Amino acid sequence: GLVPIDQNTLGLSQLMRDADAACYLAKEKGRNRVHLYHYEDSEIAQRHGEIQWIERLEYALDNDRFRLYSQVIEPLQDSSGKHFEILIRMLDENGQIITPNHFLPAAERYNLITKIDQWVVTEVFKLISNNPTFLKSSDSCSINLSGPSLGKPEFLNFVINQFNKFGVQGSKICFEITETAAISNL
C-alpha cells in the first residue's frame, strides 16, 4: 500500500490507516502488486468503513452486544415437526439492531468471524441447556456457520467441546453453511 505524504496528510495515524487500507486492496487484487492510495478512491472509502467495523465488532464481542433470534422453518408440505433457524443481530451504541449483512462481511475480511461463530454456538448451546424442553418439542435447530470457521480444525474441537459441556443432543443440531463457502472449500 503506497500513500503519498502531502498537504492532505492529517497525521501519522491517518497515514497508517490509509496505508493499511491500500495494502489490503493490493492483496485482494492478487498480491505481488502495489495499490496507490488517493483521496477520491471509492475502494479505499469502502475499506475505511469496514475497518471501523473491527472496533465495533470487538466491542460487541466484549460487551455482549450480539443477540440471537430464532426463525421457524416452515415445510412446503404438511409436517408435524418443528424446525428453527438461529440468526444473529448486533446492537449498536444506541441499542438499535444491526442486521448481519452490515457486519458479517467485515467480520470475515478481518478474521473476527470465527470468534462470532464461537459466540453463537456457545450461546445457542447455553440457551438449549437452560431450556431443555425447547429441543424436545422440536425436530432440529439450525445454526449458520461461516466457511472460514469450518476451515479451521480447532473449530471442530471447539464445537465438540460445546456439545460435551452443555450436553446438547447432536442429532437435533444442524449446522448450515452458504453454498459459496461449500464450493470454495470442499
Count the alpha carbons within 13 Å of 8 in the hemisphere toward its beta carbon: 7
Provide the β-strand partners of residue 90: 66, 98
Q: For residues 141 and 128, is the Cβ–Cβ distance under 8 A?
A: yes
Percentage of the chain beyond pLDDT 90 is: 39
C-beta atoms surrounding 88 within 10 Å = 20
Name the DSSP letter for residue 180.
Answer: H
Residue 157, pLDDT > 80, answer yes
pLDDT value at residue 164: 96
Can you name the residues that pair with 68 across neighbouring β-strands? 88
Between CA 45 and CA 37 the distance in angstroms is 10
Quick one: pLDDT at residue 85?
Answer: 93
CA distance 165 to 61: 21
Q: What is the DSSP letter of 173?
A: E
Q: How confident is the model at residue 185 (pLDDT cuts 50, 70, 90)?
A: low
User: Could you give the CA distance from residue 100 to residue 85 in angstroms, rounded to a whole number?
Assistant: 14
Which pLDDT score is estimated for 49? 65
Q: Is pLDDT above 70 for 152?
A: yes
Confidence (pLDDT) at 108: 86
Residue 1 confidence (pLDDT) above 80? yes
